[in-house]
């Protein structure tokens, strides 16, 4: 008997500020991909880096999702409650010889494009605080997978370097936390921006090492401003407008940016009507693999 895993997707924002149009496109893409097959859609707040996460930002994000009609299943998962699980995963990697402590400072290896692995065979200094890094040189290579939009991907992990799993200041790094939580939450499908495509090899290496299932991946083209910059919090992308008109217009724009060709009249409809249409018509074939798409603000 064949057993098909029930689709479980997620949106996993870092609460470093309110959602903008670029993050709405990522949230909407993962929501539609899940709902179009009757799957579940979860929200996880990736708040492992408190200095980057202003007070109240996570609540703002959750409120914005609701305002756009993007209701999630189950309870919101908060990464700040999961440190023990990340430590257990790191311990497992240490036992396997796949994680090592590193005392080098960025300044010491600034002449190299990636950290050259000096501490792999032992700490170069015993007085500095240590970060924990992944042995990318011990991964099976190449790391290859099929992206649902961008097609066959192949990376030599060593060229990406020994990514940090736990920082010198004891904060957990994204790569380890995301892998542990995606597995623990039974995520079958990851839909996110293509800026994270080259993070996927580390995540796949970690899944293999920790004996976790590997989800399917769909990376979405990024929304860029007219001057070619990624819409991001660092580039001061404006927060989503939350007036009723603003919501209708931005949701419609997000559907256009996902190449779903929504009928013009849909732009006047409230979120539930727009989303019902979009779930019924979700098409990956329409979504073109152009790594960047310029966003033209409405006049």
Tokens of 130: 């240590």
Cβ atoms 246, 239 nearer than 8 A: no
Q: In 64-184, which ranges are E strands?
A: 77-78, 99-102, 131-134, 143-147, 151-155, 164-166
Q: Decide whether 46 or 189 has the Cβ nearer to ligand GLU.
A: 46
Supply the minimum distance, in Å, between the C-beta of residue 39 and ligand GLU: 16
Supply the minimum distance, in Å, between the C-beta of residue 16 and ligand GLU: 8
Supply the minimum distance, in Å, between the C-beta of residue 261 and ligand GLU: 26
Strand bridging mode 292-294 / 222-224: parallel
Q: Decide whether 171 or 196 has the Cβ nearer to ligand GLU.
A: 196
User: Residue 178, interface with ligand GLU (CB under 6 A)?
Assistant: yes
User: Residue 36, interface with ligand GLU (CB under 6 A)?
Assistant: no
Supply the minimum distance, in Å, between the C-beta of residue 12 and ligand GLU: 4
Supply the minimum distance, in Å, between the C-beta of residue 260 and ligand GLU: 21
Smallest Cα–Cα separation from 23: which of 234, 261, 275?
234
Instruction: Single out the residue of 196, 197, 267, 284 in contact with ligand GLU (rule: CB under 6 A).
Output: 196
Q: Where are the alpha helices (DSSP H) in the chain?
A: 21-35, 57-67, 83-95, 157-160, 174-184, 200-209, 244-257, 271-281
Instruction: Single out the residue of 13, 117, 157, 262 in contact with ligand GLU (rule: CB under 6 A).
Output: 13
What is Dmax (Cα atoms) for the chain? 66
User: Residue 240, interface with ligand GLU (CB under 6 A)?
Assistant: no
Give helix then strand counts, H and E, for the chain.
Answer: 8, 12
Cβ atoms 149, 287 nearer than 8 A: yes
Of 46-65, which residues contact ligand GLU (CB under 6 A)? Answer: 46
User: Residue 223, interface with ligand GLU (CB under 6 A)?
Assistant: no
User: Residue 189, interface with ligand GLU (CB under 6 A)?
Assistant: no
Residue 198 vs residues 125, 193, 194, 280: alpha-carbon distances, Å:
30, 11, 8, 31
User: Residue 192, interface with ligand GLU (CB under 6 A)?
Assistant: yes
Supply the minimum distance, in Å, between the C-beta of residue 86 and ligand GLU: 14
User: Residue 14, interface with ligand GLU (CB under 6 A)?
Assistant: yes
How far apart are alpha carbons 131 and 92 in whole angstroms?
Answer: 16
- The footprint of ligand GLU (CB under 6 A) covers 12-14, 46, 178, 192, 196
């Amino acid at each position: 008997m064949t057993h098909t895993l029930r689709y479980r997707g997620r949106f996993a924002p870092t609460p470093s500020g309110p959602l903008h149009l670029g993050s709405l496109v990522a949230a909407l893409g993962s929501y539609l991909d899940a709902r179009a097959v009757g799957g579940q859609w979860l929200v996880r707040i990736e708040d492992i880096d408190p200095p980057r996460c202003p007070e109240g930002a996570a609540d703002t994000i959750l409120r914005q999702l609701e305002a756009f009609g993007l209701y999630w299943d189950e309870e919101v998962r908060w990464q700040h409650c999961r440190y023990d699980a990340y430590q257990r995963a790191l311990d497992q990697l240490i036992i396997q010889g796949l994680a090592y402590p590193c005392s080098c400072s960025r300044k010491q290896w600034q002449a190299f494009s990636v950290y050259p692995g000096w501490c792999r065979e032992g700490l170069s200094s015993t007085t500095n605080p240590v970060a924990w890094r992944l042995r990318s040189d011990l991964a099976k290579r190449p790391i290859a997978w099929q992206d649902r939009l961008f097609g066959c991907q192949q990376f030599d992990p060593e060229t990406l370097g020994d990514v940090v799993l736990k920082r010198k200041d004891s904060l957990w790094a994204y790569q380890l936390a995301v892998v542990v939580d995606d597995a623990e939450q039974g995520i079958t499908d990851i839909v996110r921006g293509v800026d994270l495509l080259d993070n996927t090899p580390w995540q796949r290496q970690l899944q293999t090492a920790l004996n976790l299932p590997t989800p399917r991946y769909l990376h979405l083209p990024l929304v860029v401003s007219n001057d070619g910059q990624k819409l991001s919090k660092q580039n001061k992308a404006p927060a989503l407008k939350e007036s009723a008109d603003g919501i209708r217009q931005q949701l419609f724009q997000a559907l256009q940016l996902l190449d779903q060709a929504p009928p013009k009249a849909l732009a006047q409809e409230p979120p539930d009507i727009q989303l019902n249409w979009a779930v019924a018509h979700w098409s990956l074939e329409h979504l073109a693999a152009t790594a960047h798409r310029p966003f033209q603000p409405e006049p």
